[in-house]
Homo-oligomer: A and B are copies of this chain.
Amino acid sequence: MHSTMQNYPLTITAILRHATSVHRARRVTAATEGGYRQCSYRELGQQAAQLANVLRRIGITGDQRVATFMWNNIEHLTTYLAVPAMGAVLHTLNIRLFADQIAYIANEAGDAVIVVDMSLAALLAPILPRLDSVHTVIAVGDGDTAPLEHGRKTVLRYADVLARESTEFSWPDLDEYSAAAMCYTSGTTGNPKGVVYSHRSSFLHAMAVCTSNGIGIGSTDCVLPVVPMFHANAWGLPYAALMAGADLVLPDRHLDARSLIGMIEKLRPTVAGAVPTIWNDVMHYLEKDPAHDISSLRLVACGGSAVPMSLMRTFEEKYGVQIRQLWGMTETSPMATMAWPPPGTPDHQHWALRATQGQPVCGVEARIVDDDGTVLPNDGKAVGELEVRGPWIAGSYYLGRDESKFDSGWLRTGDVGRIDPQGFITLTDRAKDVIKSGGEWISSVELENVLIAHPDVIEAAVVGVPDERWQERPLAVIVAREGSSVSAEQLRAFLADKVVRWWLPERWTFVDAIPRTSVGKFDKKAIRARYAQNDYAVSEVRD
């Protein structure tokens, strides 16, 4: 017996058609230096058609790669629609990577064209001559394109070439399994690895973001993706907003707390997504300058690193804004889990569950395995490496790189943690950041979460450092509040009743800034290296 259902492919083209017809009147607003620019979804669709015409004219056919080197703005959103819908593959280059990484990535992906924001031209120009496959650069915005010309590439002006094209394009019928977009992981070890999203995975992920157990984006929302569109497709928020017919607010390069608060007050987004650092900045800004209203936000999705409980409670209790943890990675599109405690959960347990990485959304399955690959029980106690599978989870890397990350149909996340009987996942560490002390594991992340709740601590990173007796012991790296004289003894005392005794760090160092990776996460490899090179003034505190 055969199903009698239509064979309707799940494609970004379907999102494009839906957004630009049914939701044609909805608006995307992008921040600029002095104000805002706007267009309707109908106009966005016309611009996408113009861009697709330009790309066809300069020879883009089949599944060739069109790269972007862009902030979150209307032109970047246009590439999100035009490139996959014309059958080509959108490759969002991460502008925060090092030049060598960018060159490696663009060459491996074989990018044919790069769409670059003129504010980033100076960053791209020196790399351009090394990008062998790139033949054309399309420059968005004003300014001198001369530096780009040195790359021996054809340089076109986005506005000029689009203006000459038709606002209609005959979007091809596509197989839902075909490649739509690619992102590279920004791993701190080894070369970056490419993840190639399909039309199907992008469509399903956007749909999952629109479900209530995801972010629940609907046509009454206005969405502010602060998370960069070059980072795991801005958590799928742009496609989800287009699918739902929600308005979009794009911050371009204006990512400081003051600019963001201004945008929120003026444009009143209901949903936003950004890493904890951003919301930490917003919180500190509002503490100093409380006469701002961010209450239009019904939900802030927050992920990329563990979200401190203190941050969530402050936003909810002081500003009426709910922060919910989302967990995922480039390989998971990225939304895999969301922290929504079940209804009727008592208050203290509610907050304990809010502090977890959450439950898998339907479509995603999660399990933990030990070093031998044995599946461990979801009893809230056993600790192992998290593995996930699902229709928007990577099953390999581009060109088959690093096969060790895949375990017969499951993605090995490199995260270590436990799962409770209801599927709530608590990640205690990156596998490579776990501190192994006297044969037992200490969670650097849990120590960091407690430390950050101290009123004098602005940032805290904990890494394992060699110890003669215990093999490894934790080192706490602290950024203290300006003017504070908090001591290692005081912080150790603060920790004492919150974690088990043998977790208490003996080694402490106070710094002005914690080294970060190109995507803004703590660079624990660099921290360990600096410790090893005696770059830190370390105080030792013992009882």
Spell out A's residues near B (CB within 8 Å): 1-8, 10, 14-15, 17-18, 21-26, 63, 65, 89, 177-180, 194-198, 200-201, 204, 207-208, 210-213, 216-221, 243-245, 340, 342-343, 359-360, 362-363, 365, 378, 389-398, 409, 411, 421-423
- Which of A10, A22, A24, A389 has the largest count of B CB atoms less than 10 A from its CB? A22
Cα distance A423–B7 in the bound complex, in angstroms: 23
Q: How many copies does the complex hold?
A: 2
- Given A1-B179, A3-B196, A8-B393; A23-B422 close (CB under 8 Å): yes
A197 interface neighbour in B5, B89, B177, B395, Cβ under 8 Å: B5
For the complex of A and B, the 10 pairs showing the least CB-CB separation, nearest first, are: A212-B218, A3-B198, A22-B423, A6-B395, A210-B211, A5-B201, A8-B391, A4-B196, A243-B362, A220-B343
Q: Which of B5, B24, B221, B396 contacts A212 (CB 8 A)?
A: B221
* CA–CA, A39 and B33, complex, Å: 58
Q: Give the chain B neighbours of A194 by CB distance below 8 A.
A: 4
- Structural contact, B210 and A395, CB atoms closer than 8 A: no
A22-B423, A343-B220 known; A362 and B1 CB under 8 Å?
no
A237 nearest CB across to chain B (Å): 14
Complex formed: what's the CA distance from A180 to B5 in Å? 11
Q: Can you report 18 residue pairs joining A to B where beta carbons are below 8 Å apart?
A: A2-B196, A3-B196, A3-B197, A5-B200, A5-B394, A6-B391, A6-B393, A15-B362, A21-B423, A22-B360, A24-B421, A207-B363, A212-B217, A212-B219, A212-B221, A212-B244, A219-B343, A220-B343
> Using Cβ atoms and an 8 Å threshold, which residues of chain B touch A389?
6, 8
B212 touches A7 (CB 8 A): no
Query: Knowing A24-B422, A422-B23, A423-B21 touch, does A245 contact B5 (C-beta < 8 A)?
Result: no
Known A-B contacts A1-B63, A211-B210, A211-B244; A359 and B22 likewise in contact (beta carbons under 8 Å): yes
Q: Are B211 and A207 in contact (CB under 8 A)?
A: yes
Query: Which of A65, A208, A219, A390 neighbours the largest number of chain B CB atoms within 10 Å of its CB?
Result: A219
A219 to B195, CA, bound (A): 31
- Alpha-carbon distance between A505 and B199 when the two chains are bound, in angstroms: 53
Choose among B14, B22, B218 the residue that contacts A422 (Cβ–Cβ < 8 A). B22
Contact B378 A5 (CB under 8 A): no
Residues of chain B within 8 A (CB-CB) of A89 are 1
